[in-house]
Chain A
Amino acid sequence: MTKTDSASSAAGSTDPRLDGHDEQDLEQHFDATIARDQRIEPRDWMPDGYRKTLIRQIAQHAHSEIIGMQPEGEWITRAPSLRRKAILFAKVQDEAGHGLYLYSAAETLGADRADLTQRLIEGRQKYSSIFNYPTLSFADVGVIGWFVDGAAICNQVPLCRSSYGPYARAMVRICKEESFHQRQGYELLMTMMRGTDAQREMVQDAVDRWWWPSLMMFGPPDDASPNSAQSMAWKIKRHSNDELRRRFVDMTVPQAEKLGVTLPDPELRWNAERGHHDFGTPDWSELQRVIKGDGPCNAQRMERRRSAHEEGAWVREAASAYAAKQSRRAREGAA
């Protein structure tokens, strides 16, 4: 099925409208556009690999935003004040929005939104490993905002310059909103750190549990990330996993000092020579386990997503039936 939205045409390289131009010509034009740091737009010719890689990357990103609503969403009804509840509500709603901006971008490449949802639900497409960890206390809401949204910012700010126009534009919107996410988390933690000993312990405990999984959000180390080079050449990935991870550590350490918490890494120290922090190695076997489905909450997250989809089916059907009835009536009235 081909979508023909204003900005998009799902046609691949077999498109009959190629007339006149041979594929080599088009590929040269594509390469030159990327080399000039200009954007590829939906109706442009693009190599199949570029299209497929982007759909996979954008879909995985969209799924992460959608599944990412769950760990924090669990705390909406238990937020300690109306203020915190309103903030958390807005934040989780934003994450839904991020998912939808991204599905919208994926559709300009010819992906079908219902099909992407199906792939997620059937476990054929992935989402970020970080959302397979549990949120045990309200401090986790703060630490997620600080670490997880902070890591998302590190990842996403460079993607505002992604070579694919709709993806880059979605990233611009998302980054603006992530800043609120990170700041509300940090402010929440500052408030708890000014509270009782028990509250400070909750914050430290949450930091201890989320630090390493947050470092793993950037993906495997560069020497184990075989597809990165092509994605960098296509400018749909602008920095390597390890580089982004380093940036995140450098950014977060002074924030931890200000907050008065300890990051759980005995090897973490400032390296004046390099002008960066040295830090320990995450447990990559844990990342592999979680990605393969064996994290603490994988089954729960998938089950929740599946049941939300199934339980919402009657709403989607009723809305379609209502729309069909209304347009039938409008036609009959006009006749």
Chain B
Amino acid sequence: MSSTEGVKDEWPLYEVFVRGKRGLNHVHVGSLHAADDRMALTHARDLYTRRNEGVSIWVVRSDHIAASTRDEKDPFFAPSADKVYRHPTFYDIPDDVPHI
């Protein structure tokens, strides 16, 4: 039972997503460690939904998530920045045209 052993054999990290109520998306609420998927779900219930905060939980191994690069000025998001015509406000419609 040496102290370093615990560090070595640590349970993997899971990210937890909770659907607050019907009609809403699952939202990331935090993470936890668990030995397997089932334990991760049980722990997620105990940790993140002690007060009816959810009707459904997803857990996913953190190392299975692919993420965009970290810099928010990253060119990754650039393609959406210069396409103003994707927004309804781009179009001039006379005020007297109804319901548009």
The chain A residues found within 8 Å of chain B, CB to CB, are 3-9, 11, 17, 21, 29, 43-45, 90, 93-94, 97, 100-101, 104-105, 107-108, 112-115, 117-118, 121-122, 166, 169-170, 177, 309-310, 313, 316-317, 319-320, 322-323, 326-327
Contacts of B63 in A (CB 8 A): 4-5
CB contacts (< 8 Å) of B10 on chain A: these are 112-114
Q: Given known contacts A5-B31, A100-B47, A104-B32, what 5 new A-B pairs fall within 8 Å (CB)?
A: A17-B71, A108-B31, A112-B7, A316-B35, A320-B35
Could you tell me the distance between the alpha carbons of A117 and B5 in the complex, rounded to whole angstroms? 13
Quick check: B6 and A313 within 8 Å, CB to CB? yes
Within the assembled complex, what's the spacing in Å between the Cα atoms of A237 and B32?
A: 26
Write the nearest CB–CB distance from A111 to chain B, whole angstroms: 12
B39, CB-defined interface residue at 8 Å = yes
Q: How far is the CA of A122 from the CA of B11 in the complex (A)?
A: 21
Give A119 Cβ to nearest chain B Cβ, in Å.
11
**Does B6 contact A118, Cβ atoms closer than 8 Å?**
yes
Closest B residue by C-beta to A312: B6
Please name 22 pairs of A and B residues whose Cβ atoms are closer than 8 Å in the assembled complex, sorted by A: A4-B67, A5-B15, A5-B65, A7-B67, A8-B62, A9-B70, A43-B70, A44-B71, A97-B47, A100-B47, A104-B32, A114-B10, A115-B7, A117-B6, A166-B30, A177-B51, A310-B1, A316-B6, A320-B9, A323-B35, A326-B36, A327-B36
Chain A CB within 8 A of B19 CB: no
Indicate if the CB atoms of A4 and B62 lie closer than 8 Å: yes
**Total number of B residues with any Cβ neighbor in A under 8 Å:** 32
- Report the Cα distance A323→B10, complex, angstroms: 12
A113-B1 contact in complex given A6-B65, A17-B70, A43-B67, C-beta closer than 8 Å:
no
**Chain A residue with the shortest CB-CB distance to B2:** A313
With a CB–CB cut-off of 8 A, which chain A residues contact B60? Answer: 6
How many Å lie between the Cα of A29 and that of B9 in the bound state? 38
CA–CA, A43 to B67, complex, Å?
Answer: 10
Does B82 reach chain A (CB closer than 8 Å)? Answer: no
* Chain B contacts with A in 1-45, Cβ cutoff 8 A: 1, 3, 5-7, 9-11, 13, 15, 28, 30-33, 35-36, 39
Q: How far is the CB of B42 from chain A (nearest CB, A)?
A: 11
B residues in contact with A169, CB < 8 Å: 30
Known: A114-B10, A121-B3, A316-B6. A6 touches B35 (CB 8 A): no
* CB-defined contacts of A11 to chain B, threshold 8 Å: 70
- Report the bound CA distance from A327 to B5 in whole Å: 22
B50 within 8 A of A: yes
Contacts of B50 in A (CB 8 A): 90, 93-94, 97
Supposing A17-B69, A21-B71, A323-B35 touch, asked if A7 and B28 sit within 8 A by C-beta, the answer is yes
A323 to B37, CA, bound (A): 9
Q: Does B86 contact A (CB under 8 A)?
A: no
